[in-house]
Amino acid sequence: FATFVLNQFSEPMRDRLKALLLDASRRREVSVVVVGFSGWFGAERRDIGSAPVVLATLRDGRGEWRQLAVADPHGWWIDWRPDDARPW
């Protein structure tokens, strides 16, 4: 689970984290919830007043992600808008 922290990672650090998660998924399923940095998954933040809530699921060295919701960056509200999974 990460909230508004991955934007502080350099691109090589994010790549390393993804590699570690994918490697761990070869032994067991890994799920990661990220709030506020959808760029890691290739998505774009559409509104500065809201943050995407994304679920990544990794199995057998492969990953997929889906946006679950949009939330206020300070936790005042959450709007559930699940969409279809995409390869990661």
**Domain limits, the chain:** 2-87
Q: What are phi and psi of 12, to 5 degrees?
A: -60, -35
Q: Where are the alpha helices (DSSP H) in the chain?
A: 11-24
Q: How confident is the model at residue 20 (pLDDT cuts 50, 70, 90)?
A: very high
Model confidence over 49-68: pLDDT tens digits? 888 899 999 999 999 999 99
Residue 3 — very low, low, confident or very high, per pLDDT cuts 50/70/90?
A: confident
Q: Supply the DSSP symbol for 83.
A: -
DSSP reduced 3-state for 12: helix
Helix/strand/coil for 30: strand
Enumerate residues 6+ apart whose C-beta is below 8 A from 27: none
Angstrom distance (rounded) from CA 57 to CA 63: 6
pTM above 0.75, yes or no: yes
Residue type, 85: A
Q: What is the pLDDT of residue 17?
A: 95
